[in-house]
Structure 1
């Protein structure tokens, strides 16, 4: 194989590889020997078909396989010979006009990772802001939990439904007088004001009473996931079967027992653990951002443009999604465009920090163990339907890039933990409000988003590659919160028998207007 470097500019490299016809033909011979025992042909015993006949029968396919293997090996040899560390998968192309029996000209284009001077980890100083999990915080968490478990009780039949009440309805939807798939249902519980349904639906339930019949007129969102319903005007014939009002939830031993616990004290113990985990998470978030700020301030080097563009596209896609759910989507997107360069700078910073953390981890022997990787894969597989989980596992096992993307967040966290151990840390006790304000201030001043960001702040992590959306058309269309789109790996935080349920590989959610 002949190799010629045709471009060496910054982090960009291009090479021309010549794979000789003799090399390809030798590989074809190897392919023939490998498949001959399985070939069947009339007049010959199994496994006794002459190689020349095997080549004649399957020559084109064998040549293609041989060429692909020769190219793969050639690229591997190129990387080893020139000690190249590709930033992303190299672009490999076969020159036009290739014919069987002739030399193959291959072009390989790639961007390499920069040579990073061994990062110094001496002199790191951090402040750890801590918040005690006191009784007040624990009770606040219990009250929040109780609110999520809100119960409703039957109201008098003359009671007019108000915001915060629950109505049990039967419904039948139609567009232009024609019923559509998934547009009917019975005994659906709707809490007025919860934002459960598409805009305008719940508002029209205010004032209804048990036994009322009402026609609800709504318009499906322009970005609705069912193509045939996007932007369509629809009518729902609604029958109100019951109006319910919130029931008072008293937080006492009986409440704890309703949750299967012995007493309120036992509930407090469990909630204290949860509060401590939340507060520790906030403390870690603050410390990690301050750590990254120090690393970013002390290191500056060129980063591969393709990695930056991939990161930027991830950020931009999330921001555009969030902007589309603002009150004035067009204005939000216009403001977003004005900050494009700032978001691009964020992408550069994130890629640089990612490479820096990787370099530190490799220099100090930080690793993700096979057991940890297996747990990651199995956790990610749980996002799929049971019948699809094994396929996902096999996909990650066979695709190195998918495995690397899955491993990256855990590896980063392990490097960060290693740096925490090396840093000089001082502690200061603050309130939760002060800690959250410090994190928010850091977001405004740091890399999280430009100060004038029109939409919710984007996160740096990669979205789970396995996320996808179901295509089942159903209504009255429960909408999903924008933050739950699978793009948030940093801070990832169902409805039972509702008629708007749709299937998704990760979990069961309601048909959204997103």
Structure 2
């Protein structure tokens, strides 16, 4: 590289992105020579009618070659020259760890500036991770919460019976067809047959259910509503719509008053009496709340540990985890019948902005995973053979798969071992930081926040259909 005298190389580290950079600028006579070679290369390959290839006179050739073509050609040459220049340097604090990404950030007749991006190598410098004084939230179980869970279960396992007489009232189940139009034109998703709706559940947009009250079986009616301004489908937001509705059937919901029948309906293993069901619900609520408390505590603890620890995650790992999180998020949107484009319109976020948010989550997950692994090593936390067997047994029971089949299809136990080790390490951190957490059971009659944990474990006999005029899911 002695031929080049006007090449400047600076290094830059971006630890939070796991990124190391070579910032290389070529200017002066060195850049002028590269430009001349680029122009000569274009002239040598220029084809002009009436002249042989490479034999076009210079004054004619220059008329056919544009300045930006010369710059692009010179820029491509500069990439090879700059990269080799970096390789020839000694003792750079940013090493070559992978095939770099390269970006030309400045390209003109006076200079060429390039940035080569490399992974910073994984680096872990773990400091203190015990005796942090982080508050553990007190867990409270109120009787009202247990009562609410029982109510939800009774509602889930209600019997639906045809209504023999009377008009549609609040609490009834309407079975109906509808066709929605805006300015006389039907719109996608605005039509359904045999839709089911509990009147008063507020599942549909404001005014829809109220206008159905009083309808008779077999009656048709036009319902006029306005979609909310924040509706998740942009072209419907704020629009006035008409729905031609035909009420086909009215059902009533019959809740059981027999607690023992409810026990049989939910059919939970090892629960045969109503008192056992209540105890099961109480334990589920405890477990749910303790899990939430532990998650919050561990997140706060990791935040404190990371203030003193030094963890550099290679950029390529961050990119892969970001891609995984984004794909997972898009699948979740799809399950809610929302496209990624609709989500962007709802949030006014560009794809790059969404990716940046996902990148933050990806870095956090990777850092906390690495932290957990390092702490497990430091404290000799491992998975025993018995714990591995128990884990496989749990999978077998949960998914009703024979144990031998699980072992046969499992290429290795690394995934199971990693999960067990991680959970044990998190438990160890819980025990060795903060103050103890109490579980308090209250019998106050105050209204408690709704919890779906217990009710969601059992399947309802009747599912409610969702239709186009349903409320927006946007918060």
Q: Which has the higher contact order (CA 8 A, sep 6+)?
A: 2
User: Which TM-score applies when normalising by structure 2?
Assistant: 0.48
Determine which structure has more spread, i.e. the larger CA radius of gyration: 2
